């Protein structure tokens, strides 16, 4: 799975590099992923953990009964953006100013901003 705690980690240039890498490896490893998944309910970054750890957890804690559908979806899923443009351009030029910012400010609803975001993304 491409979504998980591991995608959001970064190491600052002024960080103690060795310690930062050790922390990142821990977060991306089995023990770190179990902590992340147990705390959030989100799917871990490892297929074995998805089946052996995440599925039983969300079945018990959230009543999710068809966890196999999530596992199957990964084998048939498609990338959400196919383009020569970087994701940062979509975010900076359309998604954040047109969608995210109004939602966070409470000045618009998702139903109002999503068509505008779609229109802007299609133009890019």
Q: Whose CA is closest to 60, among 44, 45, 38, 43? A: 38
Positive or negative torsion for Cα 107, 109, 111, 115: positive
pLDDT at residue 49 tops 70: yes
Give CA–CA dist 88/63, Å, rounded: 36
pLDDT at residue 43 tops 80: yes
Q: Whose CA is closest to 4, among 19, 15, 39? A: 39
Q: How confident is the model at residue 79 (pLDDT cuts 50, 70, 90)?
A: low
pLDDT at residue 77 tops 80: no
Predicted local confidence at residue 8, as pLDDT = 66
Q: How confident is the model at residue 2 (pLDDT cuts 50, 70, 90)?
A: very low
């Amino acid at each position: 799975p491409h979504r998980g705690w591991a995608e959001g980690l970064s190491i600052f240039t002024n960080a103690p590099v060795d310690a930062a890498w050790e922390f990142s490896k821990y977060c991306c490893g089995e023990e770190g992923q179990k902590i992340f998944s147990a705390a959030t309910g989100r799917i871990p970054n490892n297929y074995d953990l998805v089946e052996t750890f995440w599925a039983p957890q969300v079945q018990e804690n959230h009543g999710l009964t068809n966890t196999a559908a999530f596992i199957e979806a990964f084998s048939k899923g498609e990338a959400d953006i196919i383009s020569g443009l970087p994701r940062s351009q979509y975010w900076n030029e359309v998604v954040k100013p047109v969608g995210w910012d109004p939602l966070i400010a409470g000045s618009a609803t998702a139903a109002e901003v999503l068509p505008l975001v779609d229109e802007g993304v299609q133009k890019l």
